Amino acid sequence: MGKVAFVFPGQGAQYSGMGKEFYENFSVARRVFEQASDRLGMDMKALCFEGTEEDLKKTENTQPAILTTSVALLEVLEVEGIQCDMTAGLSLGEYTSLVSSGVLDFEDAVAIVQKRGRYMQEAVPEGVGAMAAILGLDKAILLGCIQQASIHGIVEVANYNSPAQIVISGEVEAVKAAAELAKAKGARKAVILPVSAPFHSSLLKPAGRKLETELRKALIKSPEIPVITNTEARMLEDEYHVIPNLVKQVSQSVKWQESMEYMMAEGVDTFIEIGPGKTLSGFIKRIAKDNNQSVHMMNIENIQDLKGLSQRIRV
């Protein structure tokens, strides 16, 4: 068997009730929720299990909620003896990846991502920025559309998610213009996303600067497990590269497709998505297909998933 990778979702995967089964059945998961609540001075289980869509959509709630849920699930996997050879997370998910590899302490990470959410939200006034998902358009053609649309303002690639999906981000008029051009050039879909800020665009540089101040307060260690970073789509070299990477990640493109291709080239053939939702599984299957790679894809978000995984894999 090849190598196993743990991958962690980012913002947008949240839903009310996430992590509840694990909280009720595993003391290690309960401890994670309690640690988050103590550190942030809020009831994390109430937010994750009973929070309204509105509560969970607030960026400064979403980020610690997803991180807490994902780490709680990760702790359960570790108790079950399931380990990985490599790890990566999409945007916010990179913080879970850094916790899983021992780079960041969970309590530091949950406090940092709450502030990250707040800084990202505050960087651009409501209504100024937008994001759009472009489906089924060649990357080179889309980059041409972006260039053309930039007469209307800032528009950039936020996420290279898979061969079938690229997300763009920037100022409202420019994003809308790029989305219209993409449709005219043959995109299967161009959907304006229901987000509150233009994530992963240069408009968020002020958020990166504030984030850097917070990151400098945390204890950062060298990775025990290789982490593939969003900005470089390569292995994190050492603890000294952590802060520059995370600061850049706020305002630069997330190279998810390239990161997964790198993992596959390194011998990963089993990907376990840990946390709410199945978004990453869809991306990875598409990336693998495009590269003629055969991969096993598993999700862990409930007890049933865990039982299935435990039967299939013991690393």
Where in the sequence numbering do the catalytic residues fall? Answer: 91, 200
Place of tokens 């996430």: 18
Pairing mode, strands 189-192 and 86-89: unpaired
Give the pairing of strands 86-89 and 3-8. parallel
Phi, psi of 165, deg, nearest 5: -145, 125
What CA–CA distance (Å, rounded) separates 172 from 18? 32
Indicate the DSSP class of residue 103. Answer: S
Token digits for 34?
A: 């309690």
Beta carbons within 8 Å of 161's beta carbon, 6+ residues apart: 90, 167, 254, 256, 257, 283
Residue 13 to residue 22: CA distance in whole angstroms: 17
167: which 2 tokens?
């997300």
The amino acid occupying position 175 is V
> Which residues are within 8 A (CB) of 175 and not within 5 positions of it... i.e. 6 or more apart?
129, 130, 131, 132, 149, 155, 168, 169, 192, 198
Q: What does DSSP assign to residue 228?
A: B
Question: What is the maximum alpha-carbon separation in the chain?
Answer: 55
In three-state secondary structure terms, 148 is: helix
Residue 139 C-alpha from the chain's centroid: 21
What six digits make up the tokens of 228? 């593939």
Q: Is 285 left (phi over 0), alpha (psi -120 to 50) or beta?
A: alpha
